[in-house]
Structure 1
Amino acid sequence: MATITPNTNYQYKLNVDLSEVDWQRILELFKAVAWKYRKAGEIEGTFRNSTATIFVYHNELIIAFGRVVGDGRYYAMLADIVVDPDYQGQGLGKYLVQALNDQLVDYHFVNLTAAPRSDRFYKSIGWKKQTTSYIWPQGPKQLRQHCEVEK
């Protein structure tokens, strides 16, 4: 994948002091992209347990973020790659994925669970669909959106 140059209008913060993060804003962004409801206290905890985190700011306002869930060496999963819909289409998602993936040199497996209808985005930046991945659906919506139809 080609190196993506950050937009100089934005501030990019990798592995920041999480006590400075506006968790209410994070919840707003999850809602803006129509992801399942989350609680501020729980979200902060998940980010604190992450291998790497990244936040993008525009005039002190968080406009994008992402994180890595991993064991620190062999397995890692990119998670919560979110860009404010008002800022999408500017390469921020690509930058988040690249910056996080750059933190995972020499890992054996790096994967992610993509939001429905985001296949084209991830394929365009070099990700491949995995044939050996499985999910334990956490409800009918997840079953419908992320699982093959059994014949």
Structure 2
Amino acid sequence: MPVLTERLDVVDWDALAALYRAASMGDKSPDDLARVFGNSMFRVFALEANRLVGAGRVLADGYDCAYLCDVAVMPDQQGRGTGTQIIERLLQLSKGHRKIILYAVPGKEAVYRRFGFRRMTTAMAVFADQASASARGLLEQD
């Protein structure tokens, strides 16, 4: 099993960018990833033999709302419990918030239901590229 850490100083941001690409989480630059993880209240990185194999983060206000996002696991680690470890740690860190919201790719709902997440009926979003988000199935069609 990978070792989990919350430390930013051990992260190879180029490796995290490669992890995002491998996990179909998009092409994000190392600098952008360093910024978003640095600005997140909670973050978890999974390391196996000093190789970054998973990551996730939570944006939170410390009381009311926590937003779990960007959970990514290397394809060769998927189905081995790495993602579960990351999510469980992030939920533990977020405990005490009145609500924890999750953003996930379509088709992964069953995974997150195991942790108690349920579909919201009122969630809405504005994306920088609405057409692309719609084409990927992230937005309902008008």
Q: Common fold, TM-score beyond 0.5?
A: yes
Task: Give the corresponding residue for 1:40.
Answer: 30
**Does structure 2 retain, via aligned residues, the 8 Å contact 1:64–1:82?**
yes
Do residues 89 (structure 1) and 92 (structure 2) align?
A: no
Task: Give the corresponding residue for 2:3.
Answer: 11
**Secondary structure at 1:102 match in 2:** helix
Report the Cα offset of residue 12 of structure 1: 1.3
What do residues 55-98 of structure 1 show as CA deviations (whole Å, max 9, x unaligned)?
11110001011111111221110111000000000111122111
1:105-120 map, 5 Å? 105-120=95-110
**Does structure 2 retain, via aligned residues, the 8 Å contact 1:82–1:93?**
yes
CA distance in 2, matches of 1:48, 1:35: 18
1:128-143 map, 5 Å? 128-139=118-129, 140-143=131-134
CA distance in 2, matches of 1:138, 1:110: 23
**Identical residues among aligned pairs (%):** 24
Quick check: 32-41 or 42-51, which moved more?
A: 32-41
Task: Give the corresponding residue for 1:148.
Answer: 140
CA distance in 1, matches of 2:81, 2:10: 25
Task: Give the corresponding residue for 1:80.
Answer: 70
Structure 2, unaligned stretches of length 5 or more?
none
CA distance in 2, matches of 1:109, 1:132: 14
Structure 1, unaligned stretches of length 5 or more?
1-6
**Does structure 1 retain, via aligned residues, the 8 Å contact 2:57–2:70?**
yes
What do residues 33-70 of structure 1 show as CA deviations (whole Å, max 9, x unaligned)?
12222111111011111111111111000101111111
Q: Which consecutive segments of 4 or more residues in structure 1 shift more than 2 A?
A: none
The residue type equivalent to 1:130 in the other structure is M
Give TM-score, length-normalised by structure 2. Answer: 0.91
